[in-house]
Amino acid sequence: MEGSEHIAHSALPALIVLLPLFSALLVRPLGKWNESVRNAYVVVITGVTLLMTAGLVPLIAEHHKITYSIPAIIGELSFTVDSFSMLFALFSAFVWFCSTLYSLDYLKHEKKRDRYHITNLVVLAAMLGVVLAGDLITLYVSFEALGLVAYLFVVHTETDEAKKSSIKYFWMTVVGGFALIGGIFLTYALGGTGAIAPIPIEHTAPVLRWAAFALLTLGFGVKAGMLPVHVWLPDAHPVAPSPASALLSGVMIKAGAYGIFRTVTALFRPELGEHIAHELWHFSAQIGLVVLWIGVATMFIGVVMALGQSNAKRMLAYHSVSQMGFILAGIGAAGYLGTHGALGYAGGLYHIVNHALFKGCLFLGVGAVFFRTGSLDMYHLGGLWKKMPLTFLFTLIAACGITGVPLFNGFVSKCLIHHAIVEAYELHELASLAVAEKIYIVTCGGTACSFIKLIGLAFLGKPKIEYGPEVKDAPPRMLIAMGLLATAIITLGLFPQIVLNGVVAPGLHTWGLHSDLIAHYLEHSFMSMADIMSVVTAFALGFTIFFVGMKFGLFHLHVPKWFGVDYWYRKTAVWFIAFCRWIDEWYEIYRHNISKLLRWLRFLVTVVTGSPGPQDQHFVQQAHLLLERERHATVCHAITMAIGQSREHLNEKSDTACQDIVDAVRDIASDMATALFKERFGVVSDFIRNDHTDAIRDVLEQVVSSLSQARETIGQTALTLAQKHIAGEDVGPDILATMNRILSEEHFDQRLREAVPHDLSASDRLSQTGHDALGVIPLATQQLSTYRVEGRDHLERAEEWATAYRVEGHNRLKRAAAWGTNITRIAVVSVTQERVDWMTGDRSGMESVLHTRRQIQRYARDMSFNIAVLLIALLIFLAALANNL
């Protein structure tokens, strides 16, 4: 690099970025304490930032390039400042200062002022970070911060309109950010190092090269309001508070322009000093041409859209789009012209500065009108020049700037861009560029027309509404802010050499380009007749469009909404979400089918193994639960009785004795209840095994609920045996005897059989009410016991089966096999279990708890199986290993 001896280190760039960033921390505490102190604070901070930025000027003049880096994220954040970066930083800090000054009064009507000022400082830091960045990562980090934090500007008023616009803004920023990082990745793929310096692209695939360029341009272009990704801008800029609009439109979109500028003129250009080999500039020229045309299209469509607006801020926002087109055209021409692109550089950069100044001033002016009148509709205002003379004056100056009236700044930059386009045409005599030049003049005419409209409708003419006494000139601080900007507009219009000779020419020199053309322009073309004539042509066109348009109402024409890209973006987004939903639904169906398949498999397993079907399985679980609950209730009952009894004799016995009795009762009762449970469950199992599931399904619950007699008996027995148990005697025989008694009294199997549907009388009565059933059952039991006494032969066939089964019993092998199928079944059941059942169930009820306990038991059983298998596998393996040694 030829300028390497000029590179110096200075912490100033880093400080410029970090100062507003860290200052933002103090805004909230100060704002809570005292608003005026906070106001002073933010103005001082932006002022100091501006001064520090100005401090870069002598440094750059001396060293041409300064760098600094701070360790952060991956490696470090580096800052490199050359003349161009300095130029961006300077005007950004300046407009920021003016806007902040202006915002103090303006925000009196707004809420959340602290949030505004925090956002203000953070975004300032991000903006300066973008333009001072020394490598692509730092650039990207700042750029994302800028885009995302500025969201708070857009949404600040929190009206419905602001929220709607902010959503669009946000998504486009996010998508733009992804495009940008994709582009940055691709520059690495092309062999870049991340530095903002020429990438050696000669030997890379053209596809990759173009993809990188397209992604970078798209990423930066979203911010810059480039066509066709400008759609967020006309929505988002007007809804922000006016000082924020001025920043969004005047400064922040320049972050995008800066990115495109660096992409075209730094990344995709040959190494410095290679400007002799013209073929190396080929790609650079091609992308220059693309950018130039994007610029021309953007400026034209932007201005056409602007003409159709009645909301002043919206109109200004469309002009931001259009003016970005001018800038892009300048940058594109610079890229296209390669080594001789000085006029393009100068025009693009100068217009960037100028646009920041006059667009900032215009937004502040219109904001002042809104501040006083509460209206932004140009067609409803009028005659304000009398009421707000200074505001009118400053707005007029800014309008003169944007329309390119000689002696105002816009004139110089527009002429420079015009010259650049003409030169681009002359380079290869591309006919299309001649067309571009014509479009350029027409666009200038449209711009003139727009601002004739603004000034003519809002400030001149007769008032269309009655203004109250509150409509007077803006407060002094707002006027000072606008005045500063207006002064700058005039200064830069009168003395363009300040920027052109002071900044652009040395900058070009640093990058190894000729700057003679600029000197030539300043000497010969500045304020030349030809240039002034082109402005006159533009104004003539502007007046024509204005009068024709006003007469025929052309400004109120609206194109169908499908005509705009916005409509299609929205559609795409909606379609995409619908697509996601569709995928999800499809996936659910797929899952459903899988579970169906598993259920079918389970059916197969059922058929093959002969194990009970799924419904039976469910019933077994229910029955188990029911009986388990009964068991639990029995033990509880016994304990309650024991406690009751020991309460009665509390005086006689000590606490420990009571405790002992209760414990003993618990032991005995739970022993008996468990035995009873097993017996009963065996009965139910037999029924199920003999295919009587359906028969007892409905009645089981009732029958079980009629078993309360056993509870009483067990409780009594436990109480009587408790003393014996405490004494250490063997209570086994007694328990056995009682159990036999209970079982013979209870006749659980017979009760069940009683209840099955073919004994209609019994089951009918049973199903009436619990009380009735209780009365009926002893009767039925009695009857059946008679049967029993008479002999088994007379019993129904079903009982024979059952008995036979029980007598035969399970041999161990069968049990093991059943257990195996059980595990499989449980696995399958669990996988295919329907959610609906679970959801409707009672979550904290006894049933759920018992159920859970069962599940955990089951888990333990299965787990032990798994671990056993694992262990066996390991043992075999170890044995095998040991054998081998």
Partner 1 sequence: MESQLIVSNILPAAFLLPILAAIVVVPMTRLSEHARAIGLTVMCLGTVVVAASFIPGILDGRIYEIYLLRLTPQIWIHMRVDPMGALFGITASVLWLLALVYSFGYMADEHHKSRYYAFFMLSLAWTMGVAYSGNLLTFLVFYELFSILTYPLVTHEETPEAMAAGTKYIIYILIGSSFVLLAIVFTYFLAGDQTLATQGLLSMDMGKANLIVIFVCFLIGFGVKAAIFPLHGWVPDAHPAAPAPFSTVLSGIMVAIGTFGIMRVAFNVFGLELLGQLDVMCYVQYLAAFTIIFAAILAVNQDNLKRRLAYSTISQMGYVMLGIALLGQEAFVGALVHVTNHAFMKGTLFLCVGLLIKQAGVHNVSELRGIAKKMPITMAAFSVAALSMIGTPPLSGFVSKWYLGLGILEVEQPLYLAVLLGGALLAAIYLLPIVYAAYFQEPEPAAGDDSVSATTREAPLSMLVPVVAAAALTVILGLFASTPGLPLSLARLAAKIAFH
859 binds partner 1 (CB under 8 A): yes
Backbone φ, ψ for residue 79 (5° rounding): -120, 130
Site mask, partner 1, residues 252-281, x = CB under 8 A? Answer: ------------------------------
169 makes contact with partner 1 (CB under 8 A): no
Given the complex with partner 1, which of 141 and 296 has the nearer CB atom? 141
Q: Which residue has the tokens 């801020």?
A: 313
516's enclosing H/E stretch is helix 516-520
Contact with partner 1 (CB under 8 A) among 13, 20, 31, 177: 177
Closest CA to 457 of 312, 308, 303, 245: 312
Residues 69-88 touching partner 1, rule: CB under 8 A, are 71-76
H-helix or E-strand containing 775? helix 770-790
Closest approach, Cβ 579 to partner 1, in A, equals 8
Closer to partner 1 by Cβ: residue 563 or 587: 587
- What tokens does 596 get? 């169906």
Select 585 or 800, whichever has its Cβ closest to partner 1: 585
User: How far apart are the C-alpha atoms of 26 and 211, rounded to whole Å?
Assistant: 43
Q: ∠ at Cα 543 (540, 549), nearest 5°?
A: 135
Judged by beta carbon, residue 114 or residue 473, the one nearer partner 1 is 114
* CB 589, min distance to partner 1, A: 13
Burial class (CB in 10 A: 0-12, 13-18, 19+), 665: buried
For the segment 805-834, give every residue that binds partner 1 (CB under 8 A): 827, 830-831, 833
**In the complex, minimum distance from the CB of residue 393 to partner 1, in angstroms, rounded to a whole number:** 39
Q: Output the smallest distance, CB 19 to partner 1, in A.
A: 18
Residues 213/152, Cβ–Cβ less than 8 Å = no
In 36-91 the beta strands, taken as DSSP E runs, fall at: 65-71, 76-81
Q: Which stretch binds partner 1 (CB under 8 A): 170-178, 244-252, 299-307, 434-442?
A: 170-178
Q: CA–CA separation, 254 vs 224, rounded Å?
A: 6
Minimum CB distance to partner 1, residue 185 (Å):
5
Total site size for partner 1, rule CB under 8 A: 66
Task: Give the footprint of partner 1 on residues 568-607 (CB under 8 A).
Answer: 577, 579-581, 583-584, 587, 591
Cα–Cα distances in angstroms (integers) from residue 661 to residues 611, 633, 637, 665, 737, in the given order: 45, 19, 14, 6, 21
Residues 98-157 that bind partner 1 (CB under 8 A): 137, 140-141, 144-145, 148, 155
Asked whether position 159 contacts partner 1 by CB under 8 A, the answer is no
Q: Which listed range, 232-240, 297-305, 312-320, 867-875, lies at the site for partner 1 (CB under 8 A)?
A: 867-875
Q: With binding defined as CB under 8 A, does residue 848 bind partner 1?
A: yes
CB of 232 to partner 1, least distance (A): 16
Nearer to partner 1, 114 or 679 (CB): 114
Candidates 67-75, 485-493, 739-747, 777-785: pick the segment binding partner 1 (CB under 8 A). 67-75
The Cα 701–Cα 706 span in angstroms is: 9
Q: Is 550 in the site for partner 1 (CB under 8 A)?
A: no
**Residue position matching structure tokens 């042509």:** 537
User: How far, in Å, CA of 882 to CA of 885, rounded?
Assistant: 5
The closest alpha carbon to 217, from 281, 291, 269, 148, belongs to: 291
Binders of partner 1 in range 202-231 (CB under 8 A):
208, 211
Determine the Cα–Cα distance for residues 263 and 269; give it in Å rounded to an integer: 9
Q: How far apart are CA 398 and CA 409, in angstroms?
A: 9
Instruction: DSSP letter for 720, please.
Output: H
CB of 206 to partner 1, least distance (A): 14
Both tokens of 273, joined, read 């000093």
444/326 Cα distance (integer angstroms): 10
Q: Which of 25, 189, 530, 657 binds partner 1 (CB under 8 A)?
A: 189
Residue 843 contacts partner 1 per CB under 8 A: yes
Alpha-helical regions (H) of 109-232? 113-132, 136-149, 151-154, 160-189, 206-224
Q: Which is nearer to partner 1, 74 or 529 (CB)?
A: 74
The least CB distance from residue 153 to partner 1, in Å, is 14
Q: Which of 434, 870 has the CB closer to partner 1? A: 870
Q: Check: CB of residue 485 under 8 Å from CB of residue 398.
A: yes
Token pair, residue 377, equals 């509709």
Q: How far is the CB of 154 from partner 1 (least distance, A)?
A: 11
Q: Choose between 158 and 729: whose C-beta lies nearer to partner 1.
A: 158
214 vs 490, beta carbon nearer partner 1: 214
| CA 275 – CA 508 distance, rounded (Å) | 13
User: How far is 323 from 342, CA to CA, in rounded Å?
Assistant: 20
**878 binds partner 1 per the rule CB under 8 A:** yes
- Residue 255 to residues 152, 252, 548, 566, 842, Cα–Cα distance (Å): 17, 5, 37, 23, 60
Shortest reach from residue 148's CB to partner 1, in Å: 7
Segment near partner 1 (CB under 8 A), from 65-73, 294-302, 693-701, 778-786?
65-73
**Of the two residues 72 and 554, which places its CB atom closer to partner 1 in the complex?**
72
Residues 6+ apart with CB under 8 A from 324: 224, 225, 226, 230, 253, 256, 257, 295, 298, 299, 302, 355
Inter-CA distances, 301 with 178, 230, 447, Å: 26, 11, 11
In the list 40, 867, 868, 872, the residue contacting partner 1 (rule: CB under 8 A) is 867
Neighbours of 74 (CB within 10 A): 7
Residue 175 near partner 1 by CB under 8 A = yes
- Contact residues for partner 1, defined by CB under 8 A: 71-76, 137, 140-141, 144-145, 148, 155, 158, 163, 166-167, 170, 174-175, 177-178, 181-182, 185-186, 188-189, 208, 211, 577, 579-581, 583-584, 587, 591, 827, 830-831, 833, 835, 837-839, 841, 843, 848-849, 851-852, 855-856, 859, 862-863, 866-867, 870, 873, 877-878, 881-882, 885
